[in-house]
Structure 1
Amino acid sequence: MTNDVPVRPGRALIFSNLAHYYNHVIMLLFPTVALVLENEWGWSFGDLLSLSFLGYLAYGLAALPAGWIADRWSTRGMMAIYLLGTGTVTFLTGFAQTPWALGVGLTSMGLFASIYHPVGTSFIVRHAVNRGKALGANGVFGTLGVATAAVIASTLTDGWGWRMAFMVPGAVCFATGLVFVLFTGPDARSPVSRKPGVATVALDRRDIVRAFTILAVTMTCAGFIAQGFLVALPKVFSEKVSLFASEGISGTGTLVTLALLVGASGQLLGGYLAERYSIKSVYLGMYVLMVPVAVMMGYLVDAPLVASAALLQLVLASSLPAENCLVARFCPDGWHARAYGAKFVLALGVASLAVPLTGILRDQTGSFFLFFMAIAAFAATIAIFATFLPRAGSEADAAAPSPVAGAAE
């Protein structure tokens, strides 16, 4: 069946939101599955996390070429490849018989999943009638994916074994891809609202270079925080939280999901603050607040630890709208896609080193105390560097809707 009618805006948003949700669910299945594989395969938590490193690396580094191909070929075509390809390799990963086969599967998942962020954002911008609302809704779906991945993985693992934790989401993603191919038509033409090459505010070259040098550091540090925190949280709760302990991995997954769901509201809070206050101040303030929260988490257990985890996720998510507005503010319009692509390379690619380092730190020290001190150090580094960001024009005017990534990247 072919469809020559351009993609309808409402239909485009439904598929792009589902695709964003699947993206974060699929990329966060393994940290929960690893809790079972520690016993089944006799590998340490750190060794198991190392199997996923190349997948997380590909997830970030392949974003730039994926966006480049979409710009020169078709966002719809790349969306189809993303849904069908990610679904296929995720399903096949459930058949892995050895750690190395699992590593190949996880790497393939990261490679196909890398397509979504540059292509999905472009797909929304190309087809949405109200871009601001569409991008905001899309960010919420991504955050929900981050929040529910643990409970999906734990429920499937407890009920039918860890292989189903890959097979079921993979099959759903693939089926959605088939529906997408059958019921969407060619890309719509993207309207151009301003001449390319015009920055959001008037800045000289030195300000732009300084801003992006600072943001390169802060976005990389934020990526280390987000990736390390999300892959560590299931293990942290399994060791330090006795609530629902009798429920096994399902109890752990439920607690992780509850903590991250509470934190998910940070996207909305951050957007509200970025529209009404200095973007730079909101960005800096969130990471100043994160420092004591991370330090406390190194000492807390049980319910206080769960509450602190929710607060840390809330603060992290709240920083993302301001961060994205800063990128847009210091970037000429014609470079937005490349600027966000570079952000994904730093926050998802370079910062993927956080995944094996988190496991190594846990295995070498036997606890997550130093891990949380490292999060505090990264947050302090971001706050210090952010103080040197340039200020120009009205920051309220600069707080325009932009692609939401980060915790929901």
Structure 2
Amino acid sequence: MEKNDSSIAVFTGLGHGVFHGFELSIPLFVPIWLSTFDVSPTTLGIVVGAGYALIGLFAPIAGVLADVYGSKRLVLLSTGGMGLAFATLSVLQSVVTLTVTLMIWGAMASLYHPSGLSLISRGAEKRGTVLAYHGAGGNVGMVVVPLAAIVLLAFYGWRTVTLLLTVPAAICVLVGLSVSFEETVFESASRRDDSDQSTSRSISDSLRDVVGNTRTLLIGGFVLLFAIQILYGVYYRGIFTFLPDVLTNLPIFETVAIGDRTIEAGQFAYSGLLLVGIFGQYTGGKVSDRGSSERALLGTFIALIIASALFVPASTMGVGPLVLVCVALGFFIYSFAPIAQSLVAEYVAAESHGLSFGYIYLGMFGVGAAGAALAGATLEYGGVTALFGVLTAVMALCAALAGVLVLRSTF
């Protein structure tokens, strides 16, 4: 990669790692919070879902801010804000303060994807490759941070652990302040000329543009992508919020001894699933550079339908079959992101990338956050079998919409 692409890949990869590291550490605290705050899975699903929802609900605003002020400032604010919110978790005493703090975390987290992805789409020459490294960076974070949390929880209380987990955010901010790159290499000439006359557009001007740009976005293939992101968000949030709890409670997993402490083997299985996602992210980015992203998206959804349907049967057959299913889930869940992101960049003009990614993450993390509450209620009243039955049905709807995209690209 050229220097500008490399710098963007490093910066966004670090930010992505911090985002997903925090995001996927939260489910590890769910079993602890269930007992600490004496709440039901349904209630805690709503609480956690509220925090996750703000990631998406604020995303369009974050997209506008990225278009106005540039992406680097937004990414730095996001990573620093997430770190401060996570530090606050260490002093909470009630489920009400837990809810408020998770919502603050979600608001800060909402700034990342619209700004980070618009930076890649406008500043990177090898967009798919940079997206692949960006995705891999996210997966490194989502493996290393939760794994660190698992080990630390064996030796320290959960409040101390949440405080220690802020270290990656602090490192990211320090590194980000030292990285320089060109943000708008592929922005249109007319937009660059405007920028020469005024260092930044006003928020009021940008907000006036939102209505017109939204009308342009909500036609054709982008509408289908938006619907897919909503459904995928329900699936993603539904499967991950309670997956550590589900794996821990499976009788086929035994505890693992570390010195005089023990850790549930199911938690290591969760980390392993996230580790496989690194290869899924990288593969998805490469595939989107070399072939039809629409067909790759459909193939990914078909694989996830099969893996989701096989989870419960595999859990009764032994560790080996279940591990294979978890490997498939980890690989294909995360191969989705760079493929879908490349499609957004292909379907939308560069000047609207910030807003378009804002809407995409409004769908995935905002509306999709309902998956946490859905998973909690389904698990409480129907059990693991019902949960994965619902998740398989949601993925089938994603595949149907992806099939329409394939037909559109063919004819």
Q: TM-score scaled by structure 1? A: 0.82
SS of residue matched to 2:252: coil
- Is this contact kept in 1: 2:16–2:137, CA < 8 A? yes
Counterpart residue number, 1:383: 399
> Match for 1:264: what amino acid?
I
Q: Which shows bigger deviation, 385-394 or 291-300? A: 385-394
1:153 to 149, 153, 158: 149
> Match for 1:299: what amino acid?
P
Counterpart residue number, 2:276: 262
- Is this contact kept in 2: 1:56–1:349, CA < 8 A? yes
The answer to whether the aligner puts 1:136 opposite 2:150 as a matched pair is no
- Is this contact kept in 2: 1:196–1:334, CA < 8 A? no
The answer to whether the aligner puts 1:324 opposite 2:341 as a matched pair is yes
> Match for 2:351: what amino acid?
G
What aligned pairs does 1:158-307 form with structure 2 within 5 A after superposition? Answer: 158-178=154-174, 180-181=176-177, 183=178, 188=182, 190-192=184-186, 209-247=219-257, 248-301=262-315, 302-303=318-319, 304-307=321-324
In structure 2, the gaps of 5 or more residues are 192-214
Separation in 2 of the partners of 1:311 and 1:329? 28
- Is this contact kept in 1: 2:120–2:127, CA < 8 A? yes
* Superposed displacement of residue 385, structure 1: 2.2
* Superposed displacement of residue 289, structure 1: 2.5
* Superposed displacement of residue 196, structure 1: 7.8
Calculate the aligned-residue CA RMSD, in Å: 3.0
* Superposed displacement of residue 69, structure 1: 1.6
- Is this contact kept in 1: 2:241–2:372, CA < 8 A? yes
What aligned pairs does 1:310-349 form with structure 2 within 5 A after superposition? Answer: 310-349=327-366
> Match for 2:76: what amino acid?
A
In structure 1, the gaps of 5 or more residues are 1-6, 198-204, 396-409
When the two structures are aligned, how many residues end up with a matched partner?
A: 379
* Superposed displacement of residue 194, structure 1: 5.3
Separation in 1 of the partners of 2:183 and 2:29? 42
* Superposed displacement of residue 238, structure 1: 0.7
* Superposed displacement of residue 116, structure 1: 1.0
Q: TM-score scaled by structure 2? A: 0.82
What aligned pairs does 1:109-124 form with structure 2 within 5 A after superposition? Answer: 109-124=105-120
How high is the sequence identity, in percent, across the aligned residues?
23
Counterpart residue number, 2:206: none
> Match for 1:389: what amino acid?
L
The answer to whether the aligner puts 1:102 opposite 2:98 as a matched pair is yes
Alpha-carbon distance change, 101 to 216 in structure 1, aligned in 2, over 3 angstroms: same
Q: Which shows bigger deviation, 250-259 or 386-395? A: 386-395
Separation in 1 of the partners of 2:239 and 2:406? 29
Separation in 2 of the partners of 1:189 and 1:300? 47
* Superposed displacement of residue 178, structure 1: 4.5
Separation in 1 of the partners of 2:370 and 2:67? 29
The answer to whether the aligner puts 1:372 opposite 2:388 as a matched pair is yes
Alpha-carbon distance change, 329 to 296 in structure 1, aligned in 2, over 3 angstroms: same
